[in-house]
Amino acid sequence: MTDEEARWIASAAQGDTVAFRRIVDAHAGALFRACVRITADRAIAEDAVQEALLNAWRHLRDFDRRAALSTWLHRIAVNAALEQLRRRGRVDLVPTTDDDRERHESLADAAAGPERHARSAEIRRDVEAELARMSALERAAFVLRHHEGRSLEEISVLLGLNVGACKQAIFRAVRKLRGALQPAG
């Protein structure tokens, strides 16, 4: 945490909305990307981020600085995204975004003929279908580990689980994806 961010936190905790706005500006993009990958729905992700930032504003005085501010905010946002899914009964969503699709398509375009395009689209559908069948916890743990690049310790903090439970959730998600990608034989 920078000295400047520490000042923003201290000021925002005392009710300074301008300081909190700086915190929001610095972190909202990353929070939204995590939420949209978990929910696979931009509107739900936006609601989750708004809810998370409102909760952060309300509880900023409780932030004890044992973790980084970004980790604390991500935990609130991930929980808000999972709660949004629970409220809406939408725990079967696929965590992909237009950016992910574009990235996959551009990689496929680089050296692909029609057969490779078709196979890439088929693999993407298989992965999306398998992600949709995962529990919200497995999907969130997988997204945080393999899309966000978070450590197991960070994931455990973000999801409120012990490291072993995080490993289990990630392992189950990877095993399900591997199974979906095995050639039919």
Task: Mark whether 104 and 175 lie in a shared domain.
Answer: yes
Task: Mark whether 26 and 81 lie in a shared domain.
Answer: yes
What is the domain extent for residue 63?
3-88
Question: Which of 88, 114, 148 represents a domain boundary (last residue)?
Answer: 88
Rounded alpha-carbon distances, angstroms, from residue 22 to 47, 67, 180: 20, 19, 43
pLDDT, one tens digit per residue, over 60-106 is 888 887 778 888 899 899 889 988 888 877 544 333 444 544 543 44
The answer to whether position 159 is within a domain reads yes
Task: Mark whether 80 and 118 lie in a shared domain.
Answer: no
Task: Mark whether 81 and 129 lie in a shared domain.
Answer: no
Continuous H helices in 14-113:
17-39, 42-59, 69-88, 98-110
Stretch among 9-23, 54-68, 114-128 having the lowest mean pLDDT: 114-128
Question: Which of 88, 122, 141 represents a domain boundary (last residue)?
Answer: 88
Overall number of domains in the chain: 2
The answer to whether position 55 is within a domain reads yes
The answer to whether position 169 is within a domain reads yes
pLDDT, one tens digit per residue, over 121-175 is 777 777 777 777 888 888 888 888 887 788 898 888 888 889 999 999 999 988 8
Task: Mark whether 53 and 124 lie in a shared domain.
Answer: no
**What's the pLDDT at 101?**
46
